[in-house]
Amino acid sequence: MGERRLVVDQLKFSYEGLFNAGELFTVISSWFYEKGWDWLETMNQETVTAEGKHVRIVLDPWKSSSEFYKIMMHIKIHMIDLKDVEVEHNGETLRLNQGLVRMTFDGYVMSDRSGKWINDEKPFYWFLTLIFEKFFFRNHLGKLETWIKSDVDDLHQKVKNYLNVFKYTYQT
């Protein structure tokens, strides 16, 4: 497997109030679909307690940018004390969730995504890869770092805007 460069380190977001957990997950998954990302849900755990549900979701999306590089995210979603509530809005009864949402975003650039060059059996290839990345592919790596920063920030803003709209629509 290749080397991962950490570009965005634990961009955190927290929200407490009313929201729809299913729609929040749909907002995130539709963003990945629109941008052409592949993704893997590595953990989806729900625990029911006396205070409410605790939901942990870990997503590991990636996008291949070339034969050698891919950009990756690691997203942790933790919903604490999640309760189902009914809200009356414009004469309609809506089923929503109330609780605390904490999200953490990490962004990576991974080199040698297929594992052909960097492995324990061929240290000379690893050395060549290091030299080529440092001197020849520096601009390409810089563009990928900018790309992952932009995508992490875009997704972060989209989730913040979605929850902020929820706050002002249903909690006034």
pTM for the whole structure: 0.81
Please state, in angstroms and as integers, the Cα–Cα distance from residue 116 to each residue in 54, 63, 67, 126, 143, following that order: 41, 18, 11, 10, 23
CB 147 within 8 A of CB 65: yes
Q: For the chain, give the number of residues.
A: 172
H/E run at residue 18:
strand 4-19
**29-88: pLDDT as tens digits:** 999 999 999 989 999 999 998 888 999 999 999 998 776 688 899 999 999 998 888 887
Q: What ranges do the domains of the chain cover?
A: 4-170
H/E run at residue 58:
strand 53-59
